[in-house]
Structure 1
Amino acid sequence: MTETDLLYTLALQHVPNIGDIIAKRLIQHCGSAEAVLKEKKHHLLKIDGIGSVILGDLFGSHHLKEAEKEIVFIKENNIKVSYFKDDGYPEKLKHCIDGPILLFQSGAINLKQQRIISIVGARKITTSGMAFCEDLVEKLAIYNPVIVSGFAYGTDITAHKTAIKHQLQTIGCLAHGLNKIYPKAHKRYMVDMEKNGGFFTDFWSSDAFDKNNFLKRNRIIAGLSEATIVIESAEKGGSLVTADISNSYNRDVFAVPGRTTDLQSTGCNNLIKHQKAHMLTNPFDVPYILNWKLEEETKPAIQKQLFVELDDTEKVIYNYLKENDKQQLDGIAINCSLPIFKVASVLLNMELKGVIRPLPGKLFEVI
């Protein structure tokens, strides 16, 4: 977009009582933010859902002045701005009715033809929750997903750090402008974050820091992704808000179950109980539900190395499937006397080696 377009869109974004949904409606009707701000008030009042309260402060000259200041900040800090109608605007976020009209970005984010998942959870994450989060990202690394989170304490930073460790692109969605960082303790991760992805926000550098900002930014976390994964959550929390938003966008939600006596598992257990989330007990549940496939061109080279590299557990499963045709994961686990989480991991390794292939209905067969 041109600087003039940016100026007027920022000015429109600055108007109180005009959120993203109303702003999009006005732009759709008038053609551009500039046209909105130059339109006659009585014409705008004819638009469905637009009343005098919403338009009360629309034509104040201070909005353009504040927009000019923000443009100076944007230029001085080399911030990329994405307009909701631009090709460079995140594709999945385009389909969210309340997606921001402007998205500010730092770093080297590339979302084209990428698998994108959000990982959220408790700030006071338990040791087991952290271990599950790390294992999840590590196991999914072969699918090269983009890991989105909120750059907060606990689950968020665990997901970001593990993504960086495995050279995955990771995005932090901030609840403030790009002129600050919260929490301050995470400032040391910024360079690695921007090398391996970066940050998104729809807040200005002049916006006040407020706890309600975190709830607002959650729609971006949910909207960017094809699925949201909740690692841990108490009965109430921001992670559950993100899960609800994700459900409202018709995206998949996963939740890690826990013991009924664990307070940090209450939220996840409730999501599963009320059928608002898939139960996530193994990292490979994610690619199975989302129907992710590994790059086909990697398989022939792996197939040539077959059989001689099967370990003892793989041989047991291979022989069982060879003798019993198509079998479900649960049946394989029971008849081979192996835990389900172990079987799921081994089956993926065997699939990579070209020994077996998955079929609909959680069935597997020998190739």
Structure 2
Amino acid sequence: MDNERIALIALKRIYGVGDMSLRWLQKHFGSAEAALGATAPQLAEVEGVGREMAERIVAERDEALRHAEQEVRFATDHAIRIYTLADSDYPNRLRACLDAPPVIYYRGTADLNVARIVSIVGTRRCSDYGTNLATRIVEELAATDASIVIVSGLAYGIDVCAHRAALRTGLPTVGVLAHGLDRIYPATHRATAADMALRGGLLTDYPSGTNPVPENFLRRNRLIAALADATVIIESPVRSGALSTAAYAQGYQRRVFACPGRVTDELSLGCLHLIAERRARLLSSPADLCEMMAWAPSEKRVQATSSASTPSTSQRPSTAEPPLPDNAVTRVLRAKGPTQINDLARLTDLSVREVMAILFDLEMDGLVATLPGGMYKLVR
């Protein structure tokens, strides 16, 4: 991993160094590596930095560098790619935003620069109407173009419904997380996240060890909006994180759509307000989205749907299961059966954090399942 990437990760770990101040530091010194090696007076000259932050950078840079090197090792060990703005694989839609994060972490197979990306978000307390509508929209998109990527936040309600509908219909789907890739929150969505890592992706701008605290979710919403051409809001009360995603999408000059509902239904009020204030286009059917985005069915998709309904073996996605790795954790689980994480740490002589990292990889590959009480078991 190059020094510039490590320096970016290190600077981002220092309290008070946000995305904009990090970009100012890069611009002023020519590189993050040069900024990290600057003196406090030199740093204080940078716009948006000031004396206090400059002194903090100098005082904390050695520890920040150690953390950054650990982060790189964690990413390498867990098939996580660390993208910077200088990388060609960095999402182009996100790069176009003034507040694009200088560093993002991605684990998955979906192309983040594919031609068509749609974000679908909504309330966590969705109704049957909302889940049915989310499913229909995803199915209609899949019928239009099998390469469309569905983005959401892996939260309860509409988010996870959209992800699961995408997985069922064969569309790649990416979950944007409000924490590091060393965990999945909520834990009940781990199995879905594991499928997404294989047939979509998981993305965050937070390093490992970052907890899913409330303020991170609002900041996460900007990435959900920025990654997509269009954002669809399905069921949202007047106060909802989905509305913040819509606001970010507007700010990024992206299309926003809202699904109407009954005027007496609390879960529809946020969408109705967006439509009434002309901050979102009314989406009355799944076909409306493709029509208003001028997305005609792709030639490849038309040919596929007009051929035999059962795909040939060569067309089907690979279902080969990854091999079970031989390590201390899998050996204990094989010998003792379902085991609690603290017992795994004791029996393997590893730290809880090390065990969690191994379990995360196993879960992402569909090799381990979580049981009530924090127990883990091998699934085969």
* Equivalent of 2:187 in 171, 178, 184: 184
* Per-residue deviation, 1:39: 2.2
State the match for 2:349 in structure 1. none
State the match for 1:193 in structure 2. 196
State the match for 1:143 in structure 2. 145
Q: Alpha carbon RMSD of aligned pairs, Å?
A: 1.9
* Per-residue deviation, 1:44: 3.3
SS of 1:218's partner is helix
Give the 3 Å change call, closer, same or farther, for CA 14–300 of structure 1 in structure 2: closer
Give the 3 Å change call, closer, same or farther, for CA 218–297 of structure 1 in structure 2: closer
Contact 2:145/2:301 (<8 A) preserved: no
State the match for 2:112 in structure 1. 111
Q: Structure 1: how far apart are the matches of 2:112 and 2:182?
A: 23
State the match for 1:24 in structure 2. 23
TM-score, normalised relative to structure 1: 0.78
Pick which of 241-250 and 105-114 moved more.
105-114
1:202 counterpart = 2:205: yes
Give the 3 Å change call, closer, same or farther, for CA 102–283 of structure 1 in structure 2: same
Q: Which entry has the higher C-alpha Rg, 1 or 2?
A: 1
Question: Which amino acid in the other structure matches residue 81 of structure 1?
Answer: I
Q: Structure 1: how far apart are the matches of 2:119 and 2:267?
A: 19
* Per-residue deviation, 1:45: 3.0
Please list the CA deviations of residues 203-259 of structure 1 after superposition, one character each: whole Å capped at 9, or x if unmatched: 111223311111111111011001110001011010001110111111110000111
Give the 3 Å change call, closer, same or farther, for CA 187–40 of structure 1 in structure 2: same
State the match for 1:158 in structure 2. 161
Q: How does 1:1-367 map to 2 (within 5 A)?
A: 2-59=1-58, 60=60, 61-141=62-142, 142-144=144-146, 145-296=148-299
Q: Structure 2: how far apart are the matches of 1:298 and 1:246?
A: 28
Q: Structure 1: how far apart are the matches of 2:173 and 2:304?
A: 29
Contact 2:114/2:149 (<8 A) preserved: no
Give the 3 Å change call, closer, same or farther, for CA 25–297 of structure 1 in structure 2: same
Flag structure 1 segments of 5+ consecutive residues without an equivalent.
Answer: 304-367
* Per-residue deviation, 1:46: 3.0
Please list the CA deviations of residues 33-74 of structure 1 after superposition, one character each: whole Å capped at 9, or x if unmatched: 101111233333333333223323111222112212222211
Matched residue pairs, number?
302
Q: Structure 1: how far apart are the matches of 2:119 and 2:215?
A: 20
Give the 3 Å change call, closer, same or farther, for CA 298–219 of structure 1 in structure 2: closer
Contact 1:99/1:219 (<8 A) preserved: no
SS of 1:276's partner is coil
Q: Structure 1: how far apart are the matches of 2:175 and 2:100?
A: 16
* Per-residue deviation, 1:13: 0.7
Question: Which amino acid in the other structure matches residue 55 of structure 1?
Answer: A
* Per-residue deviation, 1:260: 1.2
TM-score, normalised relative to structure 2: 0.76
Identity of aligned residues (%): 37
Q: Structure 1: how far apart are the matches of 2:304 and 2:196?
A: 33
Contact 2:40/2:55 (<8 A) preserved: no
SS of 1:235's partner is coil
Q: Structure 1: how far apart are the matches of 2:46 and 2:3?
A: 25
Contact 1:17/1:54 (<8 A) preserved: yes
Q: Structure 2: how far apart are the matches of 1:207 and 1:190?
A: 18
